[in-house]
């Protein structure tokens, strides 16, 4: 049983004897009694202590009357007052009617009257307080209901969540429904988004902002947002420092999360009179308003999501490449009116949306019944099941092409038709099919050609593993495609590892074709083996194609040809030898005739002819002794020729200086140059030094820039001015000009301290080269 609390009664009387007497009587009745000797002292005690009832001396005169003190006390606190007087006077009673009192008794009325008056006053005060609290409660509830109504009206009208939260916070406090209100919103990760408040003390605002900025309240808010229960803060607490200043003012704080279904959007807090905090109706109203605001979050978010979804749908509807038409069924689904049409549909149908909306299907597309489109729409309307029509070729007065149609019914009953112009796809498919047929035919042709080739063709990877052979390969190695696939190529010739000088390995290593001739004892035949690497798009070798050709007969024919060429060269050398011998006989005969006519002009002519034949005989002698009878070394031919010519002119001391580079020239070029050198050198010996016993002749021969350069210089008397290379009666110079024209040479003559004749001869690479 709850222990009753003693009431505090203040006795005010300037007569201490009366005070002490009354105090003793009241203490016996179980009251705590506090004594005051004056009205002023009574006022001070009332303001500083808890007083439940005052017995005030109406006749108190010490500086302040009991009436004045009573007025001041009631202005600050609601306390029941009983006046005491020793006089039963109407004048005094009229004065006290102007203030709220709970009785008047005469001093020294006795214990019974004193006790009864006090109890009646306390009971009456308690009844009055309950009536006041009920009225206050009713007024408070009215204000809360008004705030809830206004918030609900706001929810139905405001779609901007941020504006709604700010306004709702203000509405909750504007009619003093709640002393203060604040909302903390959170995101999907329970992070704080915003702090909104109304009528909240500045000290509390600063504390909450500081806690949010520092993150100190993050865990507490997450905890409160995770629980669906009501939080009541009615005591000073270190966990809720922002609420302490409200509690000090006699207020309590109610907190509840803002949520709807499984979604939490934040936290709502309000401050209420402390005495209402535990009231169940108060709590229900608060939870209701928190739920309403949570629903507003959900509604606005849903509307935003719906709006975004609708915008996405409209964007998709407008931009999708497929044609989309929305039809409204009429006549119980026997006909359909066009309700919407996207851009792609306009392009495919060659119709403008604004010209066709509201028109019937058969008016727009008269052939739809023929192709089953109308039947498809009716079927989907009646069954509600999606339908896809097989592709068909559509044709009317405006359209022609392949179409693909898909139908489905919306919850509204409208029928959506998605259609594609697949003419290009069909054309591409037909072209692809034709291309595939052609590729198969070509592949079959290549396969037949591959197998028809008599040479061995094989494909293998970079590890020598066989991929496949042609028919000749399978026949030669006496195997099949199944047996050979994946088998090492060298195993077909009885080896356990790759053979020496393996062309496949070389092709892989060098990444380019390789070839080799190889004798395969197992077959008793020679083969030319070529390996070709095949690369992928990244430049890596995919596989190797190996080509094997039987060259046994080719090698035999080559050996036979070589033998015949050797015999031919032997016969040619013999011919050169015989020609040289015949020339020697001719020279001997000319020499005998020259000696028989010594001193005559004929003898000189015979000597010149002998020297010309001598130059040719030297050439044939060198060709006979060389390995290649088609070409000769310049030094090996020109130097002996010059020495032979010089041996015929020993009567004078003529110095021969020659500078002859060693290079290879053809026998035809050597023959022409040999006669030219003979004519020019003999001419210099005979005519350059008529009155001199000595002189110098310089001969220079070299090759550069695909040309042969020849010059002969003597320091003799020089060719007379009336003689030129182009106009001359001498047979020798005429012969030089003729031979120069034959070999496309350019001749020039210089008369500087003697005579210099230069010849420039163009040649091709294959006619000469530097000699080793």
**pTM exceeds 0.85:** no
What average pLDDT score do residues 98-103 get?
Answer: 75
- Name the average pLDDT for the chain: 82
User: Please, what's the b/e burial string for 588-606 (b: 16 or more CB within 10 A of its CB; e: otherwise)?
Assistant: eebeebbeeeeeeeeeeeb
Segment 405-438, tens digit of pLDDT: 899 999 889 999 998 888 888 888 888 889 899 9
Beta strands (DSSP E) in 410-476 are 415-421, 456-460, 466-469
Least confidently predicted of 146-155, 193-202, 427-436, 482-491: 146-155
Element holding 473 (H helix, E strand): helix 471-477
What average pLDDT score do residues 709-716 get?
Answer: 90
Residue 402, both tokens: 């392949």
d(CA 519, CA 132): 128
Q: Identify which has the larger pLDDT, 170 or 609.
A: 170
**Residue 765, pLDDT above cutoff 60:** no
What average pLDDT score do residues 245-273 get?
Answer: 86
Percent of all residues in the chain with a pLDDT value above 90, rounded to a whole number: 8
**Residue 680, pLDDT above cutoff 70:** yes
Q: Identify which has the larger pLDDT, 617 or 673.
A: 673
d(CA 763, CA 767): 6
Phi, psi of 483 (to 5 degrees): -75, -30
pLDDT-based confidence at residue 771 (cuts at 50, 70, 90): low
The pLDDT value recorded for residue 129 is 78
Segment 219-256, tens digit of pLDDT: 888 888 888 889 888 888 777 787 777 777 888 889 99
The pLDDT value recorded for residue 1 is 41
Q: Identify which has the larger pLDDT, 402 or 568.
A: 402
What average pLDDT score do residues 689-709 get?
Answer: 87
What average pLDDT score do residues 257-266 get?
Answer: 89
Segment 346-398, tens digit of pLDDT: 888 888 888 889 988 888 887 777 888 888 999 999 999 999 988 888 887 77
Segment 531-569, tens digit of pLDDT: 999 999 998 999 899 998 888 888 888 778 777 766 666
The pLDDT value recorded for residue 772 is 47
d(CA 616, CA 631): 14
The pLDDT value recorded for residue 500 is 76
pLDDT-based confidence at residue 595 (cuts at 50, 70, 90): low
The pLDDT value recorded for residue 535 is 92
Could you tell me if 143 and 282 are in contact, meaning their C-beta atoms sit under 8 angstroms apart? Answer: no
The pLDDT value recorded for residue 599 is 64
User: Please, what's the b/e burial string for 437-456 (b: 16 or more CB within 10 A of its CB; e: otherwise)?
Assistant: eeeeeeeeeeeeebeeeeeb
Segment 48-70, tens digit of pLDDT: 888 889 888 877 666 788 888 88
Residue 46, both tokens: 């009332």
Could you tell me if 101 and 83 are in contact, meaning their C-beta atoms sit under 8 angstroms apart? Answer: yes
**Residue 470, pLDDT above cutoff 50:** yes
What average pLDDT score do residues 322-338 get?
Answer: 89
**Residue 713, pLDDT above cutoff 60:** yes
Q: Would strands 694-704 and 653-660 be described as parallel, antiparallel, or unpaired?
A: parallel
What secondary structure does DSSP assign to 331-353, as a single string?
TTTTEEEEEEE-HHHHHHHT--H
Which one, of 518, 472, 528, lies nearest residue 495 by Cα? Answer: 518
Could you tell me if 755 and 654 are in contact, meaning their C-beta atoms sit under 8 angstroms apart? Answer: no
The pLDDT value recorded for residue 94 is 65
Which one, of 628, 722, 705, lies nearest residue 670 by Cα? Answer: 628
Segment 701-711, tens digit of pLDDT: 999 888 899 99
Segment 612-645, tens digit of pLDDT: 676 666 655 655 555 566 777 888 878 887 887 7
The pLDDT value recorded for residue 386 is 93
Segment 479-538, tens digit of pLDDT: 898 988 888 888 887 788 888 778 888 888 888 998 888 888 777 888 888 999 999 999
pLDDT-based confidence at residue 2 (cuts at 50, 70, 90): very low
Segment 7-36, tens digit of pLDDT: 888 888 877 676 777 788 788 888 888 888
The pLDDT value recorded for residue 566 is 66
Segment 728-740, tens digit of pLDDT: 777 777 878 888 8
Percent of all residues in the chain with a pLDDT value above 70, rounded to a whole number: 87
């Amino acid at each position: 049983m709850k222990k009753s609390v003693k009431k505090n009664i203040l006795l005010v009387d300037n007569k201490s004897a009366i005070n002490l007497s009354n105090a003793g009587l009241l203490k016996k009745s179980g009251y705590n009694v506090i004594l005051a000797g004056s009205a002023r002292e009574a006022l001070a005690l009332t303001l500083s202590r808890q007083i439940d009832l005052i017995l005030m001396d109406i006749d108190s005169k010490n500086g302040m009357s009991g009436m004045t003190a009573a007025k001041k006390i009631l202005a600050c606190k609601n306390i029941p007052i009983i006046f005491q007087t020793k006089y039963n006077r109407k004048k005094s009673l009229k004065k006290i009617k102007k203030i709220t009192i709970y009785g008047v008794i005469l001093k020294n009325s006795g214990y019974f009257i004193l006790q009864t008056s006090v109890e009646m006053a306390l009971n009456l005060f308690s009844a009055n307080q309950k009536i006041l609290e009920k009225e206050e409660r009713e007024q408070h509830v009215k204000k809360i209901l008004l705030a809830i109504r206004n918030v609900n009206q706001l929810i139905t009208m405001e779609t901007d969540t941020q504006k709604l939260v700010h306004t709702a916070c203000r509405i909750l406090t504007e009619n003093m429904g709640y002393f203060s209100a604040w909302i903390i919103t959170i995101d999907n990760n329970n992070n704080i988004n915003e702090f909104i408040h109304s009528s909240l003390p500045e000290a509390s605002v600063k504390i909450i902002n500081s806690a949010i900025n520092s993150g100190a309240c993050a865990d507490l808010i997450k905890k409160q947002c995770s629980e669906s229960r009501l939080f009541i803060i009615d005591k000073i607490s270190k966990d809720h420092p922002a609420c302490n200043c409200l509690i000090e003012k006699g207020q309590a704080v109610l907190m509840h999360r803002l949520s709807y279904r499984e979604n939490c959007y934040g936290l709502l807090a309000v401050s209420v009179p402390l005495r209402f905090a535990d009231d169940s109706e108060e709590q229900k109203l608060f939870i209701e308003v928190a739920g309403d605001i949570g629903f507003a979050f959900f509604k606005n978010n849903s509307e935003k999501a719906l709006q975004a979804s609708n915008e996405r749908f409209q964007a998709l509807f407008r931009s999708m490449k497929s044609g989309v038409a929305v039809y409204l069924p009429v006549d119980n689904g026997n006909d359909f009116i066009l309700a919407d049409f996207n851009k792609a549909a306009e392009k495919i149908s060659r119709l403008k949306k604004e010209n066709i909306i509201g028109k019937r299907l058969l008016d727009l597309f008269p052939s739809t019944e023929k192709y089953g489109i109308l039947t498809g729409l009716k079927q989907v309307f009646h069954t509600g099941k999606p339908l896809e029509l097989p592709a068909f070729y559509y044709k009317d007065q405006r359209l022609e092409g392949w179409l693909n149609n898909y139908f489905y019914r919306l919850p509204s009953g409208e029928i959506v038709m998605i259609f594609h112009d697949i003419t290009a796809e069909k054309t591409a498919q037909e072209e692809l099919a034709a291309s595939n047929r052609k590729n198969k035919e070509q592949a079959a042709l290549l396969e037949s050609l591959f197998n028809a080739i008599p040479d061995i063709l094989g494909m293998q990877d970079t590890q020598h593993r066989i991929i496949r052979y042609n028919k000749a390969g399978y026949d030669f190695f006496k195997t099949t495609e199944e047996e050979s696939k994946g088998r090492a190529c060298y195993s077909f010739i009885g080896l356990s590892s790759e053979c020496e000088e393996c062309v496949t390995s070389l092709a892989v290593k060098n990444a380019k074709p390789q070839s080799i001739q190889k004798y395969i004892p197992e077959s008793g035949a020679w083969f030319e083996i070529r390996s070709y690497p095949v690369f992928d798009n990244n430049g890596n070798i995919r596989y190797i194609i190996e080509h094997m050709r039987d060259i046994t007969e080719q090698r035999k024919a080559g050996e036979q040809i070589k033998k015949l060429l050797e015999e031919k060269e032997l016969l040619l050398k013999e011919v050169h030898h015989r020609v040289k011998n015949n020339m020697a006989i001719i020279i001997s005969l000319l020499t005998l005739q020259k000696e028989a006519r010594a001193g005559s002009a004929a003898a000189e002519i015979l000597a010149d002819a002998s020297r010309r034949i001598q130059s040719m005989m030297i050439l044939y002698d060198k060709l006979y002794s060389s390995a290649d009878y088609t070409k000769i070394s310049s030094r090996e031919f020109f130097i002996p020729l010059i020495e032979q010519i010089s041996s015929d002119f020993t009567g004078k001391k003529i110095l021969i200086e020659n500078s002859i580079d060693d290079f290879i020239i053809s026998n035809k070029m050597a023959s022409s140059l040999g006669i030219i050198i003979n004519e020019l050198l003999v001419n210099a010996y005979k005519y350059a030094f008529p009155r001199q016993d000595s002189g110098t002749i310089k001969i220079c021969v070299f090759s550069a820039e695909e040309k042969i350069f020849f010059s002969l210089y003597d320091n003799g008397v020089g060719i007379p001015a009336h003689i030129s290379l182009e106009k001359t009666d001498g047979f020798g110079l005429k012969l030089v000009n003729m031979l120069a024209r034959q070999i496309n040479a350019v001749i020039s003559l210089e008369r500087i301290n003697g005579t210099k004749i230069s010849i420039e001869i163009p040649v091709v690479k294959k006619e000469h080269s530097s000699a080793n």
